[in-house]
Amino acid sequence: MRRFFISSHALTTDGAQISGPEFHHLRHVLRLDIGTRIALYDERGTTYHGTLTHLAKDHAEVRLTDTLPPSAPTFRLTLAQSLLKGSKMDLVVEKATELGIHTILPFFSDFTVARIPSAKLAERVARWRRLAQAAAKQSGSPLPKITSTMSFETLLHSLPSHAVKLLCSEREHSIHLKAFVQDFPNLDAVWIAVGPEGGFSSQEIERARAAGCTPVSLGPSILRSETAGISAVALCQFLWSDIQFPPLP
Ligand code: SAM
């Protein structure tokens, strides 16, 4: 069954309307017809099954038959990813979404190489949100929250009190990420930060430590930032998540 994203505002009493790019995909790419069974999912992670009942010029109408509430993930993973050059940030957003990330916090730090003019930042975040929407649609994973970009200082001032807070550092040689499973076998939230191509500065690592973050190693090799971001999400999900995505229809 094909999946389409809708805003929860597009829901009516027993149905929904699909418009915009999702309607274009349904009507002109997939050429679905009235009577076709489809699945819808919204920004809250709720999945709906329904039947196409009407195809207008600019929207489709769906009669909903089932509603599957979001499987309440008992594990919420937040990735704080330093801005990266070119399409590397796109790659991290897409792969982290496929892996079930809950929140992505794009930030810039002392050695961030990517230079995005502030006038373009909002557009870049909108692009990452579109990429995440497409990745969630393809993979069936929940749609992550992607915040606006922020400075490293702002990031440290917004640390969640209840989550285990980790900072990936290739200069950390005593604590490996997996050591945390012995001490914290069951966690409901992890916040993990990955530095830019130039890495974190020593001052940043000390400020993060003072703010309650623990520098951790992902292994002996020096990974590219995008590799570290994607691996950190995969490892944390593997170590702590038991998230069950709603069964793909
Ligand atoms: N300063 C590094 C160097 O000497 O080339 C480059 C930093 S690395 C390309 C970018 C980011 O990936 C780092 O800030 C860190 O967050 C993460 N990273 C890379 N390898 C890592 C490792 N083995 N363990 C933990 N984090 C790692």
Distance 28 CA to ligand 1 centre (A): 44
pLDDT, tens only, 77-104: 999 999 999 899 999 999 999 999 999 9
R_g of the chain, CA atoms, integer Å:
20
Of 91 and 44, the structure prediction assigns the larger pLDDT to: 91
State the pLDDT confidence band at 249, using cuts at 50, 70 and 90.
Answer: low
Q: Cβ contacts of residue 205 below 8 Å, gap of 6+?
A: 167, 169, 171, 215
For ligand 1, is residue 15 a contact (CB within 6 Å)? Answer: no
Which two structure tokens, joined as six digits, stand for 94? 């897409």
Q: β-strands 37-41, 47-55: how paired?
A: antiparallel
pLDDT at site 72: 65
The DSSP call for residue 211 is T
Nearest 5 degrees, angle CA 186-CA 192-CA 194? 150
Average confidence (pLDDT) over 200-213? 97
Instruction: Answer whether 219 contacts ligand 1 (Cβ < 6 A).
Output: yes
The residues pairing with 48 across neighbouring beta strands, listed in sequence order, are 40, 67
Q: Is 175 in the pocket of ligand 1 (CB under 6 A)?
A: no
Element (H, E) at 19: strand 15-19
Greater confidence, 70 or 6? 6
Tokens of 227: 């590799």
- Span from the CA of 198 to the centroid of ligand 1 (angstroms): 8
Question: Whole-angstrom Cα distance, residue 210 to residue 165?
Answer: 12
155-169 exposure pattern, b = at least 16 Cβ within 10 A, e = fewer: bbeebeeebbbbbbb
- The CB of 110 under 6 Å from ligand 1? The reply is no
